[in-house]
């Protein structure tokens, strides 16, 4: 049973915790478990299972493991000994506290720090902050007690003056503590509910690659697909094989035309008037031979239609993944939904124009614009061809409809699907089908996915196992875009950086504070962000945090000296201990970013403090940052980035004509960088 003897915290502060300190006693009052034991057994207390302080680690023990294990014991002991923690009032809560502590221990070890220096480890801070934010969305229970409530109490005890000195531990930096504890205090007033986690980055990268690959494949067959449908509904013998198929096809087409109000006095040929082909010959003639062989269950019109219905799901999925719109906005996308917006520094940017699902005065509801990329644009172009084809299927005719009144998601089953109030045509309810696409049904979870879940959503009990299929859900895509696009380029997400970099830059330019696009096409008249575009607010907040975190890690805490237009001034202020207030703490930096007083983003050679989009960056291989840019920050990393940049330039020279201006410019840049590396970092290339 639990030792009820009171503990003198002041004495412990002076002498430390004696390893032989008795934690529990047996039924006869004799010592049962001591502080030094890895297992503390409270089974006499209402049948609780023993707590094993070694159970959180399943690898070969190392020095960090032993350090964290001791810290876990100290925290749990202090929680027991502190009346304000209220643990002793209900011993049944012990497993709940222990569960959260085990998660924190795994997170610390995975990010390479102990709980003593966790507040100074940027990776731990980013992962923990993300985990806390995740628990505030929709919470599930951890064995009857919310993780956020337990976590709130643990932090309360860790930061009490009398216990802080004993433990010497703090999970949060001073900048974050007040803010996050305020958020966590909401745990007592918000309800519980089930939710699914952020898609792990490996699976998200695979999702993007799978979508892109399938769209590229089917996109190469669009002319043949369109021609196939046009011929099928105008040539009665086309793809009508021997047997009853020819007569059945004529009856279906006649019935469809009658139902659609189309003149059906045309006399169809009889079986004796046509020469029917075999399935194999018809397949070769269609130009869709590989598509039938690899994507369809058999050689038939209906098998092709079924595959194209799956393609329509993938097109819808692409629009969700690469825009962040909600499913009811996806559902009402019009046929012509692609528009262009000219953005300085980017040129013409692709946006999707949709509507909210509610109507105003009988007309279309307020137009909504979503920044997207070429993958979603390709998806729309494919979906438009499919809409034309499915219209032919509905009417039994190749006559084109009035596309200005047509939905993008024209139903592949037009006699059974609903008609949205926005359109006069049957529409596929994409919200109900996109996440059921067969193409993404077999994404198996691997160990690295589980590890990532336990890092960036560390306070939750996930029940996902290696080998299990990932449960994709519609709302995950919006959240994944916000999180991963705002982190694009960070070292922790190498597989996603290149795929989302361009979209991330566009979202930054169009969704950021003071963006004319946001002001004119997104914000309400009072400047507030409408509920429909909550993604913009989420993206801004995520960016502010990531920007401030990267600035303090790469610039303020830089291991070597800074140079560059802005870097040399910051280095001078650091040398003189005269940093401006906006740079003295991450909290002040976040505030400055929100107010537009400071900006920071990573570049291939260091960092950039330019507040507007750079007109020159990314135009060619030679970046404008190293020499002559007033906003650049170079160095601080021992020359790692500059060295990698120089090596890339050297490789690039091999592909250039030695007599070209580009070769001379690159060679000149390379020579200057080599001199800079030698003089400032002592690195010789």
The pLDDT of residue 167 is above 60: yes
User: For residues 354 and 368, is the Cβ–Cβ distance under 8 A?
Assistant: yes
Please identify which residue in the block is written with the tokens 């309360």: 156
Quick one: average pLDDT of 280-301?
A: 91
Q: What percent of the chain has pLDDT over 90?
A: 16
User: For residues 212 and 322, is the Cβ–Cβ distance under 8 A?
Assistant: no
Q: Which residue has the higher pLDDT, 362 or 422?
A: 422
CA 188, CA 146: separation in Å to the nearest integer?
9
Query: Which helix (H) or strand (E) element contains residue 142?
Result: strand 141-142
Q: Which residue has the higher pLDDT, 167 or 94?
A: 94
pLDDT (tens digit per residue) in 534-590: 666 676 777 787 788 788 888 988 888 999 999 999 999 999 999 999 998 888 888
Please identify which residue in the block is written with the tokens 């032919």: 392
CA 513, CA 536: separation in Å to the nearest integer?
10
Mean pLDDT of the chain: 77
Residue 144 exposure: Cα atoms within 13 Å on the Cβ side: 6
CA 464, CA 445: separation in Å to the nearest integer?
8
Please indicate, yes or no, whether the overall pTM of this predicted structure exceeds 0.85: no
pLDDT (tens digit per residue) in 473-502: 887 888 788 777 765 544 344 445 444 555
Range with lowest mean pLDDT among 61-75, 128-142, 236-250, 456-470: 128-142
Which pLDDT band holds residue 669 (cuts at 50, 70, 90)? confident
CA 451, CA 127: separation in Å to the nearest integer?
12
Range with lowest mean pLDDT among 63-67, 390-394, 530-534, 679-683: 530-534
User: For residues 662 and 656, is the Cβ–Cβ distance under 8 A?
Assistant: yes
- Helix, strand, coil distribution of the chain in percent, nearest 5: 50, 10, 40
State residue 521's pLDDT score. Answer: 52
State residue 197's pLDDT score. Answer: 74
The pLDDT of residue 67 is above 70: yes
């Amino acid at each position: 049973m639990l030792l009820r003897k009171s503990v003198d915290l002041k004495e412990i502060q002076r002498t430390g915790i004696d390893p032989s300190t008795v934690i529990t006693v047996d039924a006869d009052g004799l010592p049962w478990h001591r502080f030094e034991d890895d297992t503390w057994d409270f089974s006499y207390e209402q049948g609780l299972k023993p707590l094993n302080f070694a159970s959180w680690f399943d690898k070969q023990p190392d020095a960090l493991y032993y350090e964290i294990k001791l810290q876990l014991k100290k925290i749990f002991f202090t929680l027991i000994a502190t009346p304000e923690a209220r643990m002793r009032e209900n011993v049944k809560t012990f497993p709940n506290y222990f569960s959260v502590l085990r998660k924190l221990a795994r997170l610390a070890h995975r990010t390479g720090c102990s709980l003593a220096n966790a507040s100074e480890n940027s990776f731990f801070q980013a992962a923990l902050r993300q985990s806390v934010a995740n628990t505030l969305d929709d919470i599930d229970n951890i064995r009857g007690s919310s993780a956020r409530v337990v976590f709130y109490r643990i932090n309360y005890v860790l930061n009490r003056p009398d216990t802080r000195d004993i433990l010497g531990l703090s999970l949060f930096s001073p900048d974050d503590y007040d803010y996050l504890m305020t958020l966590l205090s909401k745990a007592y007033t918000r309800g519980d509910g089930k939710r699914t986690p952020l898609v792990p980055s490996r699976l998200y990268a695979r999702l993007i690659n799978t979508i892109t690959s399938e769209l590229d494949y089917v996109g190469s067959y669009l002319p043949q697909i369109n021609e196939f449908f046009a011929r099928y509904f105008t040539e009665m013998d086309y793809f009508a094989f021997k047997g009853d198929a020819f007569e059945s096809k004529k009856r279906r087409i006649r019935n469809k035309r009658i139902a659609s109000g189309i003149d059906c006095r045309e006399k169809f040929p009889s079986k004796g008037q046509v020469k029917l082909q075999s399935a194999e010959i018809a397949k070769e003639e269609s130009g869709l031979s590989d598509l039938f062989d690899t994507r369809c269950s058999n050689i038939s019109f209906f098998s092709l239609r079924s595959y194209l219905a799956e393609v329509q799901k993938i097109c819808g999925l692409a629009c969700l993944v690469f825009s962040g719109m909600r499913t009811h906005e996806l559902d009402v996308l019009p046929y012509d939904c692609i528009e262009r917006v000219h953005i300085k520094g980017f040129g013409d940017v692709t946006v999707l124009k949709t509507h909210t699902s509610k109507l105003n005065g009988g007309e279309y509801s307020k137009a909504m614009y979503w920044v997207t990329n070429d993958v979603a644009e390709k998806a729309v172009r494919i979906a438009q061809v499919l809409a034309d084809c499915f219209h032919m299927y509905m009417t039994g005719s190749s006559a084109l409809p009035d596309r200005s009144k047509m939905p993008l998601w024209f139903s592949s089953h037009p006699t059974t699907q609903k008609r949205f109030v926005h359109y006069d045509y049957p529409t596929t309810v994409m919200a109900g089908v996109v996440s059921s696409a067969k193409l993404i049904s077999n994404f198996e979870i691997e160990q690295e996915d589980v590890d990532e879940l336990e890092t960036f959503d560390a306070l939750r009990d996930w029940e996902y196992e290696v080998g299990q299929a990932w449960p994709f859900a519609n709302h995950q895509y919006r959240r994944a875009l916000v999180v991963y696009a705002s982190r694009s380029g960070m070292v922790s997400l190498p597989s996603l950086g290149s795929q989302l970099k361009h979209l991330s830059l566009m979202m930054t330019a169009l969704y950021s504070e003071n963006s004319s696009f946001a002001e004119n096409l997104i914000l309400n008249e009072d400047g507030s962000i409408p509920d429909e575009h909550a993604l913009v607010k989420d993206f801004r907040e995520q960016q502010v945090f990531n920007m401030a975190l990267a600035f303090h890690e790469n610039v303020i805490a830089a291991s070597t000296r800074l140079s560059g237009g802005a870097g040399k001034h910051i280095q001078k202020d650091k040398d003189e201990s005269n940093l401006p207030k906006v740079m003295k703490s991450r909290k002040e930096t976040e505030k400055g970013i929100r107010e537009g007083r400071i900006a920071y983003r990573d570049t291939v050679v260091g960092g950039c403090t330019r507040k507007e989009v750079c007109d020159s960056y990314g135009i060619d291989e030679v970046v404008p940052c190293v020499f002559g840019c007033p906003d650049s920050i170079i160095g601080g990393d021992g020359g790692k980035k500059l060295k990698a940049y120089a090596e890339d330039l050297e490789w690039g020279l091999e592909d250039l004509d030695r007599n070209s201006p580009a070769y001379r410019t690159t060679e000149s840049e390379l020579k200057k960088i080599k001199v800079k590396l030698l003089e400032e970092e002592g690195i010789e290339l």
